[in-house]
Amino acid sequence: MGGAVSAGEDNDELIDNLKEAQYIRTERVEQAFRAVDRADYYLEEFKENAYKDLAWKHGNIHLSAPCIYSEVMEALDLQPGLSFLNLGSGTGYLSSMVGLILGPFGVNHGVELHSDVIEYAKQKLDFFIKTSDSFDKFDFCEPSFVTGNCLEISPDCSQYDRVYCGAGVQKEHEAYMKRLLKVGGILVMPLEEKLTKITRTGPSAWETKKILAVSFAPLIQPCHSESGKSRLVRLPPLAVRSLQDLARIAIRGTIKRIIHQETVNKQGNGLKNTPRFKRRRVRRRRMETIVFLDKEVFASRISSPSDDNSCEDLEEERREEEAKTPLETKPGPPVNFLREKVLRLPLPDPLKYYLLYYREK
């Protein structure tokens, strides 16, 4: 499934293409997609395909096409502080993007059938937290993953504001999926070959909307133990943050507001987006064309409008364009102002690194 938009040269260009095709429609979803580089969730030998609008599968590891994730993120209508359950959480790519929107007071849980994929997802999450330039720009709701079959979730589990299932759901399991949802919540899942959005409007009232046709591998049916009983999946408890963690969130938030205000004062009209790197336009060279008609030369050359300009004219035009667009050079690496501020605080080093989540850069 996929191929709805052109491939990008990098993550930003892929997102540009998804926006142009109207798969990404809101700023909140766009920011989350730009913050998490899709290539980071690929194995090294397959990264050349990371920015294509195609699904990827290697063994048990699987990523849906970017256009599918875009529609899912938009349909979930995510807000800070909500609870989210990802059924078939896979690499954790979607859960990480969702966590950037939920913020520090949300709940972000995932259930994955394969233990090796859970291990892979934890490695990718750790890499994102420790190395991503985007981490300090957001307040992150870190995902928690558990191993098990999503059709065997304990019946006494908490309900969620948002639920996504990344495998094909048959009609017989629709009621089971709905039970996981709070009143007012949204469930998005592939139901009978259609990506479907279900909103719970009351204790027994639902609104259903078909989004688009999709093709997903079906949910794997539970394998009962020798005793004939199913292995119930226990979801992580809803933990209460420690006072120390709350203080870290508050301090980081205060520093971010100070940085924002300093930027406003410096620029005069608020934060401006960092200029995107502009790729140099490639000019076509003049080509001589020979046309044969009945085995005889009919014309030795066919001119085109661009042929009227000499090489000197083209060079002059190129210089004029460069003078008009001084942003042709790629900008330097972004500065992490939050990190700089924290490291300058009059605090012991262990406390500084705690405020930075022990990040490597």
Residues assigned a catalytic role = 64
Three-state secondary structure call for residue 235? coil
Q: Residue 179's CB: how many other CB atoms inside 10 A?
A: 11
Q: Which residues in 271-285 are b (16+ Cβ under 10 Å) and which e?
A: eeeeeeeeeeeeeee
Tokens linked to 250: 């508050």
Pairing of strands 296-299, 205-213: unpaired
Distance CA 172, CA 96 (A): 30
If you search the block for the tokens 């078939």, which residue do you land on?
88
With CA atoms as reference, report the closest residue to 74 among 120, 107, 25, 136. 25
If you search the block for the tokens 């529609």, which residue do you land on?
71
Distance CA 312, CA 352 (A): 58
Tokens linked to 317: 């035009």
Is 204 exposed, middle or buried (CB count within 10 Å of its CB: 0-12, 13-18, 19+)? Answer: exposed
Q: What are the angstrom distances between the C-alpha of 250 and each of 122, 244, 256, 351, 359? A: 26, 10, 10, 14, 18
- Our CA angle for 92, 95, 100, nearest 5°, is 130
Residues 218 and 192: beta-carbon distance below 8 Å? no
Distance CA 260, CA 158 (A): 37
- Please give the DSSP secondary-structure letter assigned to residue 178: H
Single-letter amino acid, residue 115: S
